[in-house]
Amino acid sequence: MNELVIALGWVGIFAPMAIGAVASAIGCGIAGQAGIGAILETEGGYGRYIGISAFPSTFVIYGIVVMFTLDREVTPENAGGLFGVGLFAGIALLYCGIWQGRACASAINAAKEKPEIFGLSLAPAAIIEGFGVFAFVFALVISAGIPGAV
């Protein structure tokens, strides 16, 4: 039984990085598809469409930092905390990455039709980024209370 508990603790340590990478890949893929479509339909301003499609890449960075913050010796006493914080932070990053990718795709589609709203169209993606930052900060703060920090 202790081996399973220890294994779940290790899963918790690495989950934020792995799930954050999946979140960034999905989000950038969704936004990137819209960016490519916009490039085909417009005569210029291609860089901004590609730039917007990279917005969701931040979630893997948050996941990596959380992973390093959680990294410690796994014991039966701290495995549950590591698992819970790591897994739920990763899930929060996953949802933020997917929805930010969708918000970026919408911003790209709106900006290609009406270029003057380019900046304003990014507001929903920025708000979603804020939720990812909340999950990131939550994980950092809570991880300080998990026993075994180096």
Domain ranges of the chain: 2-143
What per-residue confidence (pLDDT) applies to 150? 61
pLDDT digits (tens, 9 = 90+) for 53-79: 999 999 999 999 999 999 999 999 999
Q: Are residues 67 and 139 in contact, defined by beta-carbon separation less than 8 angstroms? A: no
As a whole number of angstroms, the distance between CA 142 and CA 88 comes to 12
**2-143 belongs to CATH 3.40.630.40:** no
Q: Is the pLDDT of residue 20 over 90?
A: yes
For the whole model, what pTM was predicted?
Answer: 0.92
Q: Are residues 31 and 52 in contact, defined by beta-carbon separation less than 8 angstroms? A: yes
Amino acid at 2: N
For all residues of the chain together, what is the average pLDDT? 94
Choice between 47 and 35, residue whose per-residue pLDDT is larger: 35
pLDDT digits (tens, 9 = 90+) for 78-122: 999 999 999 999 999 999 999 999 999 999 999 988 989 988 999
**pLDDT classification of 141: cutoffs 50, 70, 90:** very high
As a whole number of angstroms, the distance between CA 116 and CA 19 comes to 35
